Amino acid sequence: MQRHFDEELQALKLQLMKMSALAEAMISEAVKALMDRDPSRVQTVYEREKEVNHLQVVIDEMCLTLIALHQPAAGDLRFILGAAKTNSDLERLADLAVNIVDEAKELMEQPPLKPFGILPRMAILARTMVRDSLHAFVNREPGKAREVLLRDDELDQLKRDVTAELTDYMSRDPSAVSRGLALVLVARNLERVGDHATNIAENTIFVVEGRDVRHHGG
């Protein structure tokens, strides 16, 4: 029974890593679609969203099955509940990638603005935060999770920088308001990618360092 449990727990971790890799790739792809004005990348993002939605259901069921069949001890139970929450965070990354390509699609129909190179930088940083928070979670490493939390300030600063730059740009050229606003919203979506990485990192700390559930309540 213990061997089965360990195997199933390992399978759960692999599915989470697969889902994270997929969501990370969607974020990169969405920002490339925006920067390169590339409709084929827009399509790729829409198609991958379906895969992520399917994986979300699979992972939730794995969590339920693991608890129902094995009645895991406190630490593992905490981990599995954390996995179900992490699953929700990963699924929302896919929604954010879709939001970004929705804006990209609108922008492709209008003349290009000057390139705002901060956006790809934000995408790389946000994507790395997701990858590292997920690694911290599956390996139960709160130290690594805390490093992710620190990087969120950097991402917020980049968002503030690009928002200020775009606000200035729109104030000088009112014909650019609609397009500038779309790019501000892209920056917000990338900031939210970082927020979900932060959730996963905080969740990791709660899972590993939280109080033992059997010592109170009830």
Positions touching a second copy (CB under 8 A) are: 4, 8, 60-65, 67-69, 71, 74, 77-78, 81, 84-85, 88, 163, 167, 170-172, 174-175, 177-178, 181, 184-185, 188, 199, 206, 210-211, 213-214, 216-218
Listed residue (199, 214, 207, 206) closest to 76, CA to CA = 207
Least distance between a second copy and beta carbon 12 (Å): 11
CA distances from 118 to 25, 98, 138 (A): 18, 20, 30
Query: What is the nearest approach in angstroms of a second copy to the Cβ of residue 175?
Result: 7
What does each C-alpha distance from 23 to 81, 144, 174 come to in angstroms? 21, 20, 35
> What letter does residue 214 receive in the DSSP assignment?
G
Q: What is the dihedral of CA 133, 134, 136, 137, to 10 degrees?
A: 120
Neighbours of 163 (CB within 10 A): 17
Nearest approach in angstroms of CB 66 to a second copy is 8
Query: From residue 101, how far is each of 41, 43, 202 by CA, in Å?
Result: 8, 9, 28
Sign, CA dihedral 147-148-151-153, equals negative
What are the structure tokens assigned to 16, written together? 């989470």
CA distances from 212 to 25, 76, 125, 171, 206 (A): 36, 11, 34, 55, 11
Whichever of 36 and 168 has its CB closer to a second copy, that residue is: 168
Least separation in angstroms between residue 40's CB and a second copy is 27
